[in-house]
Amino acid sequence: MLKMINSLSVFLLLMVIVNVADAKQEPIKQLKYFLKNTKTLEATFKQVTVDENGQITQTSHGDFFLSRPGKFRWSYKKPFEQEIVSNQGKVWFYDVDLEQVTVKKLDDSMGSTPALLLSGDIALEENFILQQQGVDEELQWIKLSPKNEETGYNYILIGLADDSIGGMELSDNFGQLTRIFFSNIKRNMQLDKSIFEFKTPEGVDVFEN
């Protein structure tokens, strides 16, 4: 009888260990599932920029569109109008107030940044160290630390809710944080192709790298 009790105790202990390990991996599995199964995404966003002293320097609002692979559009509405459009291996940065467009190749301008992480096909474990960060703002957060030390940032945080993205945070090498929170999220809906086409307005200066 004693042997049976000991065997049962060992079995239960092993089950607890396995369940704890699965619990730790669950958010990472959700992230992989989201990236694999999201073909298109439409959302509104709030972006907050925080300086190295913890002070908010700017809060922006706009719309975000994604079509994998390689297409995305950040449309900033407030406080300043800006457009960031990616299509056919290029990215257009349009500042309405400056009347200026900068065009860059996707690889040169983005590397393994959050934009490419969402829009491309990146092998997570090959490029990042993944760590579960717990729950905050009702989101389950995963920290992605780049293995390549030459990137322009320290880490990316991705917040998930109900198998969909709810927020992101980017810490750059200058101590600045960029936090983005998504709302009104629609996944895998048909998006008009024109959303990811950029036409330079007349009279606007264009700089292409």
pLDDT band at 182 (very low <50, low <70, confident <90, very high): very high
Looking at per-residue pLDDT, the higher value among 8 and 150 belongs to 150
92 neighbors 199 (Cβ within 8 angstroms): no
| pTM higher than the cut 0.85 | no
Q: Which pLDDT does position 22 carry in this prediction?
A: 39
- In which region does residue 6 sit, left (phi positive, over 0), alpha (psi from -120 to 50) or beta (all else)? alpha
Judge whether residue 5 has pLDDT over 50: no
Judge whether residue 21 has pLDDT over 60: no
Return all residues near 167 (Cβ < 8 A) that are at least 6 apart. Answer: 137, 139, 141, 157, 158, 159, 179, 180, 181, 182
Judge whether residue 149 has pLDDT over 90: no
Give the residue-averaged pLDDT of 156-162: 89
Q: Which pLDDT does position 19 carry in this prediction?
A: 37
Give the residue-averaged pLDDT of 155-174: 89
- In which region does residue 203 sit, left (phi positive, over 0), alpha (psi from -120 to 50) or beta (all else)? left
Least confident of 9-18, 63-72, 76-85, 122-131: 9-18
Element (H, E) at 144: strand 139-146
- In which region does residue 54 sit, left (phi positive, over 0), alpha (psi from -120 to 50) or beta (all else)? left
Question: Over the stretch 65-74, which tens digit does the pLDDT of each residue have?
Answer: 999 888 999 9
User: Within the chain, what is the greatest distance between any pair of CA atoms?
Assistant: 88
Task: Kindly list the structural domains of the chain, giving each domain's residue range(s) and its CATH number in brackets, ordered by start.
Answer: 2-208 (2.50.20.10)
Q: Which pLDDT does position 24 carry in this prediction?
A: 43
